[in-house]
Structure 1
Amino acid sequence: MTAPAGGAAAARLPAEYILPLRWTDDAGLPELADYLRHLVDWIPVTVVDGSGPDLFARHRAQFPPEVRHIRPAGRPEPGSGMPQGNGKVAGVVTGVREARAELLVIADDDVRYTRGSLAAVVDHLGSADVVRPQNYFDPLPWHALWDTARSLINRAWSADFPGTLGLRRSALLATDGYEPVLFENLELIRTVKAAGGRERIVPDLYIARRPPKARHFLRQRLRQAYDDFAQPRRLAAELALLPAVVGAAVLPPRARTAVFAGLAAAAVATAETGRRRHGGTAVFPFRAACFAPLWAMERAIGIWAAMAFRAIGGVPYAGARIRIAAHPEAELRRRHHGKLQAFRQQTPASTLKEQP
């Protein structure tokens, strides 16, 4: 269910909000600054800003004075000519290390919480180390409906990956951060779990996010397909899509039409199953499920394009070429097994602050 907005007069939450940011233009600055003006009434906010110097200065001037506005540590300055890699990971790790609370809410710049949904994530952190809610797009232009079909299919089979997580600070400090791979949220979740942390998936906790511009949506197609190298069973299923379509295309006309109609109907039915789970009809319209065949055809082609980039060293992303989508769970367990328990045993309880 969607959480209520709540009132600004309520006490601030005993947690901290971490927003990693790296912009090349400020088209969305007025709307983000307005959101932050509401947010600082509900929770202390830290923005870790890897934007260029001029944009950084403009952000500092426009953000509310209550926002702590800092630079990410340990990565090249924008415009330096050095590879940037996944700057979001640098922003998240810096924010976690600099945080003044144990309970954290990490969110992309397009995520829009209410006070009620923030309180719900913080409450779930009372019994978990990482909390995964569900995002939905608001508003819904055509390309957001297309991308929503992907989320609905994810929900039908398991759970979706949002642009925001709840996190206990100690859970990531125990592993000294996580690696700057492409599918950074999955890597963070797997790292925390490998160290002994508990994940809580909350598929009926709906958090709005603003859709990207259509041009940015189109640029995301290859990257999102490449993410699936981190999920081998999903990868195998997606690689089978294009051969199935090509095979159907050489059938006699009547059989070809029947196969294509069946595949389209199966895609819509799968997405509709995801839409109906956990009260999703409250935020996902039926027309989003109707985009599932288009998304499936996109992925049938895109996953083979991603395979080609994998063969030549990885997918281009933010001035670098990234080969690893996310590390396998078994590898992360070998690296981090038992670290969280050891960290908490060695760290005085008074330093794991629940409140800034």
Structure 2
Amino acid sequence: MRPDYVLPLRWDAATSRSELPELTAYLERLRDWADVVVVDGSDEPIFAEHHRAWSTLVRHIAPDGPPTPNGKVAGVLTGIRATAQPRFVIADDDVRYREAELAEVVRRLDAAGLIAPQNHFRPLPWHARWDTARSLLNRALDHDYPGTLAVRREFAADGYRGDVLFENLELMRTVIARGGTIEHAKDVFVERRPPTVRHFWSQRVRQAYDSSAQPARLAAELALLPALLLQARAPKGYLAWAAAAVAVAACGRRVAGGSSVYARTAPLWAPAWVLERAITAWIAVGWRAAGGVPYAGGRLRHSASSLSELRRALAAARSR
């Protein structure tokens, strides 16, 4: 049975000019493997251009239903309502599955409520190499968070909260609260196109803000900057810090066959990422005190709900 594939996006004119041909080529391949719904929140002139390019390839629709502060969630919820297969894949517009990878994440839903594969960047400009270090460290210490998820409909049909920044974590925890299990498929590698340099820089603090939904991780990241400042009394110690970061990232590269997709030099970027997070974690705390992350003309205060919050909300809904 072919899965549904939900692709939410919202592009401005500049993004459409640069990305339309490549995404169109991907949709031409993807339609042979899945029933694709592109939920397009772009402004009308851009939506019309996209409709001319995509309407003969896939279903191309606008978001419906109530808007959400996080616009991606509104697109995903529209896509869920517009599809009917018991298994579906959600993917950002920069994700590029191959047929075997798509089939594998859907197959693994036999034993889980949600599958989170591993993204890796292709091509690899400098900023993609920098961000790859984050993935390697995550793989070594726990697991990474991709821009795509495969989900069993029974655990997502009722939707999930749309006023949070880290919407994928929100969906994962919602699936768990509803009785589903999560598989972090570290051995299923799905390509992702790198962002522009401008977008890369704009995401540094936002990604750090995601840790506010993971208290243990947030505490560790906030401890980095004081520790690094104290190390200034013995600057040679920074070499040990750098070596440790590279060593941990190298372990992450080897986890679950990662050396087949990650370059040997990828762990060398880990010290840069650690320094970035040491600084941006504190900026994110400042943003939270100021009311949340600036987002689409407003602010998003919450990164994601805790699992206990979701379970209480579900129990309250069932008791009504």
For the criterion TM > 0.5, the same-fold answer is: yes
Deviations 1:196-223 (A, max 9, x none): 1121221100000100011110000010
In 2, the alpha carbon distance for the partners of 1:222 and 1:334 equals 30
User: Does 1:178 find its partner at 2:166?
Assistant: no
Aligned ranges 1:163-312 → 2 under 5 Å: 163-173=147-157, 175-249=158-232, 251=233, 255-257=234-236, 259-312=237-290
Q: What is the aligned partner in structure 2 of residue 19 from structure 1? A: 7
Partner of residue 69, structure 1: 60
Deviations 1:188-247 (A, max 9, x none): 000111111121221100000100011110000010010110111110011011101111
* Aligned-partner residue type, residue 221 of structure 2: E
Listed as ranges, the matches of 1:122-141 within 5 Å are 122-141=106-125
Shift of 1:338: 10
1:86 CA drift (Å): 1.1
TM-aligned CA distance change 1:101 to 1:338, over 3 Å: farther
Letter paired with 2:258: G
Matches within 5 A, 1:324-343: 324-336=302-314
The whole-number CA distance in structure 1 between the counterparts of 2:264 and 2:83 is: 41
* Aligned-residue offset at 1:296: 0.5
SS of the residue aligned with 2:7?
A: strand
Give the alignment partner of residue 85 of structure 1, picking from 69, 73, 78.
69
User: Of the two structures, which has the highest relative contact order with CA contacts closer than 8 Å and spacing of 6 or more?
Assistant: 1
- Which structure 1 segments of 5+ residues have no match? 1-12, 77-83, 343-356
Is the 8 Å Cα contact of residues 160 and 170 (structure 2) preserved in structure 1? Answer: no
SS at match of 1:291: helix
1:59 to partner: Cα distance: 0.4
Rg larger in structure: 1
Distance in 1, Cα, partners of 2:49 & 2:126: 32
Partner Cα separation in structure 2 for residue 338 and residue 331 of structure 1: 11
Per mean C-alpha deviation after superposition, the further-off stretch among 49-58 and 329-338 is 329-338
Contact 1:134 1:205 in 2 (8 A): yes
Which runs of 4 or more aligned residues in structure 1 lie more than 2 Å from their structure 2 counterparts after TM superposition? Answer: 175-180, 336-339
1:148 aligns with 2:117: no
Note the aligned Cα RMSD (angstroms): 1.5
Alignment CA distance shift 1:167-1:280 (3 Å):
same
Q: What SS class does the counterpart of residue 143 from structure 1 fall into?
A: helix
Q: Which runs of 5+ in 2 are unaligned?
A: none
Size of the aligned set, in residue pairs, is: 315
Query: Among residues 294, 300, 310, which one is paired with 1:322 in the alignment?
Result: 300
Deviation string 1:316-354 (CA, Å, 9 cap, x unpaired) is 022220000011111111112598xx9xxxxxxxxxxxx
* 1:101 match: secondary structure: coil
* Whole-angstrom CA distance in 1 between matches of 2:141 and 2:97: 26
| 8 Å contact from structure 1 (residues 134, 207) kept in 2 | yes
Contact 1:36–1:64 (CA<8 Å) still a contact in 2? no
Q: Is the 8 A contact 2:69 2:162 kept in 1?
A: no
2:40 paired residue among 37, 46, 49: 49
User: Identity of paired residues, percent?
Assistant: 53
Q: Tell me the TM-score normalized by structure 2.
A: 0.95
- Cα deviation per residue 1:53-108 (whole Å; 9 max; x = unaligned)? 011100011115131111112355xxxxxxx7311111111111111211101100
Residue 100 (structure 1) aligns with = 84
